[in-house]
A and B are shown apart, each in its own frame.
Chain A
Amino acid sequence: NAGVTQTPKFQVLKTGQSMTLQCAQDMNHEYMSWYRQDPGMGLRLIHYSVGAGITDQGEVPNGYNVSRSTTEDFPLRLLSAAPSQTSVYFCASSYSFLGRTGESYEQYFGPGTRLTVT
């Protein structure tokens, strides 16, 4: 298994540009999510999906869109990039929603995408 893959690894955008961060997993996981990590603020949930066709907002959804047309893919779209969106973005997946699988729960993370908006 490749696990959770993300592309690109690095990206520089100008203010106002749009782009899509790709995320895919080959573990047949039901739950996928996007986080951003900023210094001193920990990881914050942007959007999540509990299954194909189902998405919902997390803690910091503004400026981002997601879709989940297949179980494997969960792309994150930046509609009009702003410097405040400079961050490291992580995609994660798990068998089920956080904790529902019980004590053996694990959430798998992708390697991250470092995005800079100038």
Chain B
Amino acid sequence: EDKVVQSPLSLVVHEGDTVTLNCSYEVTNFRSLLWYKQEKKAPTFLFMLTSSGIEKKSGRLSSILDKKELSSILNITATQTGDSAIYLCVVLKTSYDKVIFGPGTSLSVIP
């Protein structure tokens, strides 16, 4: 059975801290892994990772995929209160029938 696991499920940090969110997957016919940020509305796209070992960066956020370990991490440096959200890890298959979402990591950044 395909599954995506995220850890931790929730996290509280202070502004300025650096956080690392983890995603691991057991999926047949893996194609890509995506990260989304979800606040009190619909998810917004952050990164898509297809190749192992290549870091994607956007401002204070970065992410990398390890296909050997079947995992990905999302790093956020110098966290701000605006980073408070649920971060979703999503795995796409090469077939057209399923998109597997992880349960999300709820991040709270306190001043």
Binding site for B on A (CB under 8 A): 4, 33, 35, 40-45, 48, 50, 56-59, 90, 92, 97-99, 103, 105-112
Contact = CB atoms under 8 A, between A and B. Distances in A.
Contacts of B32: 98-99
A58 B88 contact: no
Contact of A56 (B88, B90, B96, B102): B96
Interface stretch (B40-48, B61-69, B72-80): B40-48
A45 B42 contact: no
Secondary structure at chain B's binding surface: helix, strand, loop or mixed?
strand
Given A59-B98, A99-B31, A99-B50, A90 B103 contact: no
A35 B42 CA distance: 11
Interface in B78-110: 88, 90, 92, 96-104
Contacts of B4: 42
Interface residues of B, number: 23
Contacts of B45: 105-108
Contacts of B31: 98-99
Given A40-B103, A45-B98, A58-B98, A109 B43 contact: yes
Contacts of A111: 41-42
Contacts of A109: 42-44
A98 B42 contact: no
